[in-house]
Structure 1
Amino acid sequence: MAVQIRNDINELLLEEEIGDDLHEKLVSTQLVEEQQEIKYHFGEAVLRETFFDGYHIFTGDASVYENLHVNATEAIPAVSLLFMVRGHFNTNVGHERQRLFGSLEHNLYYNPGGVENAHILKQENLAAVGMNFSKERFLQLAENNGRILDMLGNNVAGNRPIILNKKSNHPITARMLMILDEIRNCQFLGGHKKLYLQSKVIELLALQCEQQEQAESLQKERFALSASDKEKIFFARDYLLNQMQSPPSLTELSRAAGLNEFKLKNGFKQVFDNTVFGYLNDHKMEYARQLLQSAVQSVTQIAEQLGFSSVQHFSTAFRKKFGVSPVKLRNA
């Protein structure tokens, strides 16, 4: 794969050929695992990759110290699932128009041309998780597995570019975040690790397709949401999460976002496939799970940080969401 990285004034910062053995690793029946720590004056990153049986799983954490423009030529076109956990960048994802990936967004795409461009603004602590399927592996998974996968499979078989959600990226759900975290922290080894990771990747693919089907089925029933209103819905989401410890009422949130309550509630359901406070609760629970696993704060401190009136209320909400108490999760 050939990679070029330039800055805003078109200076060539990096040009290199990487991954000449990509196909060999992708089709390997043995687990191939690699980790790279990359440091340049324009940015640094830690990349972890796993290859086996037509699957390629990668996780990346990066900081970018100036605006970058990346051009990459893929040696082997693949069907890609991209989950932007934190940060944002623009990419053409195999199409003529640029697509912005923001925090907690995901999509699926296939780029038969093998050329991708990405524009990454200066920012710190980007985090992304992605999966690539070889064409053959994806077609095996797509066959007779639902309308969405049939449609995607037909296009891939015909070597036509695809993108799951053409209008915008879908939001990453709480369940998806859990799976992404499980992938990043997998403790299995060898063949058991292959089996475990394969099950997680297939589950993410199923969740993506289910989310797309639900969006399409509800589209006819939903009112039209203008681009301006959609921006206000995203503002309301960010405002709500920033006030997580003491969240505003619907009236206060709608006033801050410049929307009436009806449009706020229905717009939130349309954009995030969740109610306003259902979304807040999912975010709280996922954040609590991460804090518990980090083992830095006590359960009491976490409950207070998330705005729960008592540890008991926090424990009840956590058990309802994940089926296990905070203490048991920490001790697992």
Structure 2
Amino acid sequence: MPDIEWLLREPDRALTLQTGPPFAADDDNWRATIERVIVAPSLHVYLVDAQAHRDMSIEPTHEFTNPFVASQLTIEGRADLDFQSAGRAHATRDNTVFFRPPRQTTVYRLKAGTRFRASGYALSVDRMVRLFEGEVPAALAPLLEPELDDTRFVTARSDKVIRSLAGSLFARGLNGPLRRLMMEGAVVHLLALQAAAAGRHAPRHRPAALSPREREAVAEARRLLLVDMRAPPTLGELADAVGLAERRLNAGFRLLFGATVFETLRGERLEHARIAFEAGGATLKEAAFRVGYNHVTNFISAFRARYGAPPVQFIGRPATRARRRRLTAG
């Protein structure tokens, strides 16, 4: 169970769930109820239940003043999302859509006779980066670049679990802080599932071979990355230091070391922690903090995924030669 305490650490004003009267329509064009819930200054949730009587177009408005990424989760029906110069995406039961509109409005198009029931959320770019603790999945990275001129969007497969979570945002059994906590937790869960789905279906291209200069730059970047694993440089800082673009640096790490920059960092952190445990030189909390994990639960999950057992099984127990070979090979 991930520790989301830091996620909930918003300014005091975020602790009050802000809802206004839902927008309601019942005319020749459609029958609809649309609600916007301000869960926190950096997180808004949208709930839509509409029946279109005619072909129609809708241009929803957002009240974010800072850059944000929106996600559309369809529970029933279909809408076409028109991003103007950036193209179109289909919001259906079988796929979800992430999009970041820098300036242009997004137009939702409904066909006559369509029942469209959906939820969605908008997260500030800064908060989404914090949620991923700086390790943004490659499939979503284009949405989080500092400056964008046109809308960008990413689609991912949906499934029964995602639709069920999206539907849970409509629940009326909770109010006030309890509803806020429920919505915030559901959005975090949805973001994780959607990011994983987007990664599974992202096209994979083998990067071009590295030139000798690039190989030297990537090797130097690895050295700089591991100098202080408690406070490592960001990907941008690392790329600037060695004179490579961020994407090329990550591609170089994959070619030379079989992992991205931050996958390499994570692996080295965990290996250092394992060595410290077996030497009896650190407690669980000390090791987690020293190698750069702010939350012990995240550290334990990553350690178990790498070594097949929780850290407690390694503390004060020197590895046999055979076991060390197996761990190193993994």
Q: Any stretches of 5+ residues in structure 2 without a counterpart?
A: 1-12, 207-330
Say yes or no: does 1:211 pair with 2:200: no
Distance 1:74 1:178, change over 3 A: closer
The answer to whether the 8 Å contact 1:108/1:164 transfers is: yes
Say yes or no: does 1:158 pair with 2:144: no
RMSD of the alignment, in Å? 2.8
1:217-256 equivalence runs, <5 A: none
1:130-153: CA deviations, max 9, x gaps?
111134433432442343377246
Say yes or no: does 1:113 pair with 2:100: no
1:79-109: CA deviations, max 9, x gaps?
1110122222222236531223233321111
* Cα distance in 1 between the residues matched to 2:151 and 2:138: 12
Q: What is the match of residue 74 of structure 2?
A: 84
* Residue 104 of structure 1, aligned match among 94, 100, 105: 94
* Cα distance in 1 between the residues matched to 2:179 and 2:192: 20
* Residue 173 of structure 1, aligned match among 149, 159, 167: 159
Q: What is the match of residue 63 of structure 1?
A: 51
Distance 1:188 1:113, change over 3 A: same
* Cα distance in 2 between the residues matched to 1:148 and 1:218: 11
- TM-score, normalised via structure 2 length: 0.50
* Alpha-carbon shift at residue 174 of structure 1 (Å): 1.5
Q: 3-state DSSP class of the match of 2:188?
A: helix
Q: Any stretches of 5+ residues in structure 1 without a counterpart?
A: 1-26, 221-332
Aligned length: 190
Distance 1:72 1:200, change over 3 A: closer
1:175-195: CA deviations, max 9, x gaps?
112212222225333223222
1:292-331 equivalence runs, <5 A: none
Q: 3-state DSSP class of the match of 2:98?
A: strand
Q: What is the match of residue 42 of structure 1?
A: 29
Q: What is the match of residue 132 of structure 1?
A: 122
Say yes or no: does 1:141 pair with 2:131: yes
Distance 1:185 1:144, change over 3 A: same
More strand by share: 1
Distance 1:138 1:29, change over 3 A: same
* Cα distance in 1 between the residues matched to 2:203 and 2:82: 27
* Cα distance in 1 between the residues matched to 2:129 and 2:137: 14
* Alpha-carbon shift at residue 71 of structure 1 (Å): 4.0
One-letter amino acid of the structure 2 residue matched with residue 106 of structure 1: T
* Cα distance in 1 between the residues matched to 2:148 and 2:77: 31
* Alpha-carbon shift at residue 67 of structure 1 (Å): 1.1
Distance 1:217 1:71, change over 3 A: closer
* Cα distance in 2 between the residues matched to 1:111 and 1:160: 9
Q: 3-state DSSP class of the match of 2:25?
A: strand
The answer to whether the 8 Å contact 1:94/1:111 transfers is: no
The answer to whether the 8 Å contact 2:96/2:156 transfers is: yes
Q: What is the match of residue 196 of structure 1?
A: 182
Q: What is the match of residue 277 of structure 2?
A: none
* Cα distance in 1 between the residues matched to 2:35 and 2:59: 21
Q: What is the match of residue 265 of structure 2?
A: none
Pair member with larger Rg: 2
* Cα distance in 2 between the residues matched to 1:150 and 1:83: 16
* Cα distance in 2 between the residues matched to 1:162 and 1:181: 27
* Cα distance in 2 between the residues matched to 1:102 and 1:138: 24
* Cα distance in 2 between the residues matched to 1:130 and 1:150: 17
